[in-house]
Amino acid sequence: MPSSARTATLRDAVGLGVAVGLYGVAFGAAAAGAGLDTWQAVATSALMFTGASQFAMIGVLGAGGGAFSAVGSALLLGTRNTVYGVRLAPMLAPRGWLRRAGAAHWVIDETTAMAVAAPDRELGRLAFWVTGATIYLGWNVTTLIGSLGAAALGETAQAALDAVVPAAFLALLWPRLQRSAREPGVQRRVALGGAVIALALTPFVPAGVQVVLAVVAVALAGRPRRTATA
Amino acid sequence: MLWAVVLAGSLGCYLLKLAGLSVPAAWVERPWVTRVVEFVPAALLAALVAVQAATSGPDLVVDGRLVGLAVAAVALALRAPFIVVLVLAGAAGALVHVLTG
């Protein structure tokens, strides 16, 4: 393997890890706003370790939602990691249950994207482990910083934080709606449907339930196309 | 209650990850399954955007959060980095709070 390819993979993996790790500040602050203490916020980042699910859980809790809605929305967003795992399994080929159990914890959007984009299997494995390690470290440290920082906020800063949380969800959603995404038109239709369903249900269901029920908007995606199953 | 949510959610999310590495690919790689999984994030994230920006308990409300969201959308359209998007949205929300306070 040429060492330049190895260096490039390492550089990209660490770069992405640092960039994504910064999101942890937003998560830590938002978790504090939703009522999680610092231990709970850090435990979520260390144990759940999948950004969208974590944000969804504290989003539902912050809106006054119950335990089932909070866990349910986190699990619904966690299902895509199962599909990632299926794609990564042949590449990682983790030997023994211990390695498989360890690798599984780091199967997320970013590690999958980096591993799949690598030019060969060995570099793919390297990208997976380096990206995973960098993000795991950065995500947990910045969650701690965000959680501690939020505790020191005054009323105006709290209003700022309230506006940051929906913006963070929009930033997570945004790339899925762009032209570079697969079937962006369908993604936009489903997203609009999800938002409308959630708002329409808000006055009638317990807090948080509307988020879980909005998942029915995937019906707007329609039938699978025969060519869409790569 | 919060600890139970954190731990149950974490365990469930971990098992979903582990399942991907453990079950036969044919179980998961069905057209219907992959299609639903591909579009679940769009539905849920959009629902969370709407609920976080425009509701308070059972009520639909318009306040600084919606202004912050609009600012964030403009920043994202201009390809601003994540952290810049959040700072601008927060600043907009704080400004509305001060002006209407």
- Read off the pLDDT of residues A18-41 as tens digits, 9 standing for 90 and up: 777 778 888 999 999 899 999 999
Residue A1 has what pLDDT? 53
pLDDT at A171 over 60: yes
pLDDT tens digits along A59-108: 999 988 999 999 999 999 999 999 999 989 989 988 888 999 999 999 99
Asked, for residue A227, whether it belongs to a domain, the answer is no
The DSSP element (H or E) to which B55 belongs, if any, is strand B55-56
pLDDT digits (tens, 9 = 90+) for A139-149: 999 999 999 98
Chain A segment 111-150 residues within 8 A of B by beta carbon are none
Hey, which residues 149-168 in chain A have their CB within 8 Å of chain B?
155-157, 159-168
Which pLDDT does position A230 carry in this prediction? 43
Taking CA A211 as the corner, what is the angle to CA A199 and CA B40, rounded to the nearest 5 degrees?
115
Q: Give domain status of residue A164, yes or no.
A: no
Residue A229 confidence (pLDDT) above 70 = no
- A61 in B contact zone (CB under 8 Å): yes
Q: Is residue A63 in a domain?
A: yes
Q: Is residue A187 part of a domain?
A: no
Contacts of A172 in chain B (CB under 8 A): 41, 45
For residue A45, give its domain range.
3-154
In this predicted structure, what is the pLDDT of residue A228?
47
With pLDDT > 70 as the criterion, what percentage of chain A qualifies?
97
Nearest Cα residue to B30 out of A54, A228, A140? A228
Q: Percent of chain A having pLDDT more than 90?
A: 62
Q: Do A166 and B52 touch (CB under 8 A)?
A: yes
Q: What is the pTM of this model?
A: 0.86
Residue B42: its chain A contacts at CB < 8 A? 173, 176-177, 187-188, 190-191, 194, 217
The answer to whether residue A39 is domain-embedded is yes
A214–B contact, CB cutoff 8 A:
yes
Residue A161 within a domain: no
- Per-residue model confidence as pLDDT tens digits over B20-77: 999 888 888 888 888 888 899 999 999 999 999 999 889 999 999 999 999 999 999 9
Question: Is A21 domain-assigned?
Answer: yes
Domain total of chain A: 1
Contact B40 A85 (CB under 8 A): no
Is residue A224 assigned to a domain? no
